[in-house]
Amino acid sequence: MYKVYLIYGTSCLYAILYTFQNAVDDADWSPINSTVIVSVSGAVICIWDFARKTVEPVMMFTCKTGVHFSLVKFSKHGNNIVTGDVNGQVRCFHISNMPSPSFLQKSSILTALENMMSSNHELVQIIKKTMMIK
């Protein structure tokens, strides 16, 4: 079992964002949407929107047998993802139904993080201060 943590600095303040059954080989934050992350795990590509749900991905794609992704990156405009696998194959995917970015990106990610970390008030306050949101 693998866990994804949000960790602040060198202090021991953290929150568990999600627990996976398989290792996450790579992940990338969307360049246009502060609450969206793409991850790869084996042959699976997951798109997460922390503004909507944290327990499971909002989109999941499983590729053919024999594929094991080792890298994933968003394109500059955020509607395409590029993957690399352990066999040296590079693939580009266009995601036509990506979650729409909100107008207030800082506010969106802060709200999503507050919802995920409702039990860790100290970390929420540090994040607010770091993001300079009152």
Alpha-carbon torsion 59, 62, 63, 67, what sign? positive
- Domain match, 108 and 91 both: no
Q: How far, rounded to the nearest angstrom, does the alpha carbon of residue 128 sit from its chain's CA centroid? A: 20
**How many domains, in total, are found in the chain?**
2
pTM of the model: 0.67
Collapsing DSSP to helix, strand or coil, 93 comes out as strand
- Domain match, 91 and 31 both: yes
Shortest CA distance to 33 belongs to which of 16, 50, 45, 8? 50
Beta bridge partners of 26: 40
Element (H, E) at 113: helix 105-116
> The domain containing residue 60 runs over which residues?
23-100
Element (H, E) at 76: none
Structural domain includes residue 1: no
DSSP string, 119-133: T-HHHHHHHHHHHT-
- Domain match, 94 and 113 both: no
Query: What is the predicted pLDDT for the residue at 6?
Result: 53
Query: What is the predicted pLDDT for the residue at 102?
Result: 64
Query: What is the predicted pLDDT for the residue at 106?
Result: 65
Regions of the chain short of the pLDDT cut 70? 1-21, 53-55, 98-134
Structural domain includes residue 77: yes
What is the distance between the alpha carbons of residues 95 and 66, in angstroms, rounded to a whole number?
A: 22
